[in-house]
Amino acid sequence: MKKIVVRFGLQSFLFAAVLFLIMLLVGKDMSFKVQEVLGYLSIVASLSFVFFGIKHYRDKENSGLISFGKALGLGMLITVFVALGFAVIDFIYTAYINPDFLQQYTDYSITELEKTLFGEELATAKQKLISDMESMGSPSFMAAMMFVTVVLVGFIISLLSSLILQKK
């Protein structure tokens, strides 16, 4: 099982890195909304290796059988590789490639707030947004948040894959 986790985990890590590079080149002129959607799609696409890893283990390594618990465990172990990959990529991006990312995103978010809020409500929302952004201002924190996000999405995909692929 360890071999399957490492194999599919590393493949998903590399796939995530390639998707990131493609989006870095293609998506730099896209809006933050579009980039966010593409980011989540790349997370889900990278986590597809969870399904294929569980299926490969069940069919090739375990005589066509796998319990729900074992499938879920296998899926979560592969998910950790994907999450680490995204966290490392996120750290490199926000620390070295685009260290102004958080400020750019804050400015974009303020512009979006200004489209819907006015007066005191706008001032309060701006202050909260700025405070929230300052609290997560380090590349390490943003990488940790990315890790948690990918693990949560990976848990859902692992859960669904385990339900679909379990055979006793």
Write out pLDDT tens, residues 111-142: 888 888 888 888 888 888 888 888 777 899 98
All structural domains of the chain with their residue ranges: 2-98+141-165
pLDDT tens per residue, range 48-84: 999 999 999 999 999 999 999 999 999 999 999 999 9
Chain length of the chain? 168
Q: Give the pLDDT score at 143.
A: 92
Q: Is the pLDDT of residue 27 over 80?
A: no
Q: Does the CA dihedral 27-30-32-36 come out positive or negative?
A: negative
Residue 158 binned pLDDT confidence (cut-offs 50, 70, 90): very high
149: DSSP letter: H
Share of the chain above pLDDT 90, in %: 52
Q: Per-residue pLDDT averaged across 104-116, rounded?
A: 87
Residue 6 binned pLDDT confidence (cut-offs 50, 70, 90): very high
Q: What is the DSSP string of 7-58?
A: HHHHHHHHHHHHHHHHHHHHGGGS-HHHHHHHHHHHHHHHHHHHHHHHHHII
Say what the pTM is: 0.86
Residue 91 binned pLDDT confidence (cut-offs 50, 70, 90): very high
pLDDT mean across residues, the chain: 90
Give the C-alpha separation, 78 to 9, whole Å.
5
